[in-house]
Amino acid sequence: MKYHKASEVLPDDLLREVQKYVNGEALYFPRHKERKQWGDSTGTRAYYKQRNREIREKFDEKTATIEDLAGQYSLSVESIRKIVYGQR
């Protein structure tokens, strides 16, 4: 980790404000990064999106009933209903 002199990086008014709280001490500022949504890093989100799309297609094409889909995907009948009748 590289240290920077605060007076060279921060504007004067901000530097004076920070000095009110910590004067002459070292501070650590964590890196700012956007938080990813659940499942974006591991691909889980994409997996469930694809699985739910397949379930809806099979139901819409009438190739499987809700009970069939529940058994095929190891989900409860209620979960399949939420997928099939939920928002698309």
8-19 pLDDT per residue, tens: 999 999 999 999
Kindly list the distances between the CA atom of residue 5 and the CA atoms of 10, 19, 61, 80, in Å, as whole numbers in the listed order.
9, 13, 66, 58
pLDDT score recorded for residue 64: 93
Whether residue 66 lies inside any domain: the answer is yes
Supply the range of the domain harboring residue 73. Answer: 44-85
User: Residue 78: inside a domain, yes or no?
Assistant: yes
Q: What percent of the chain has pLDDT over 90?
A: 60
77 in a domain, yes or no?
yes
pLDDT at 88: 61
Number of domains in the chain: 1
Give domain status of residue 1, yes or no: no
Residue 73 pLDDT grade (very low, low, confident, very high; cuts 50, 70, 90) = very high
Q: What is residue 26's predicted lDDT score, i.e. its pLDDT? A: 87
Give a yes or no: residue 15 inside a domain: no
Residue 71 lies in a domain: yes
Helix axis angle for 44-60 and 77-85, nearest 10°, is 80
Determine what percent of the chain falls in helix, strand and coil, rounding each to the nearest 5. 55, 0, 45
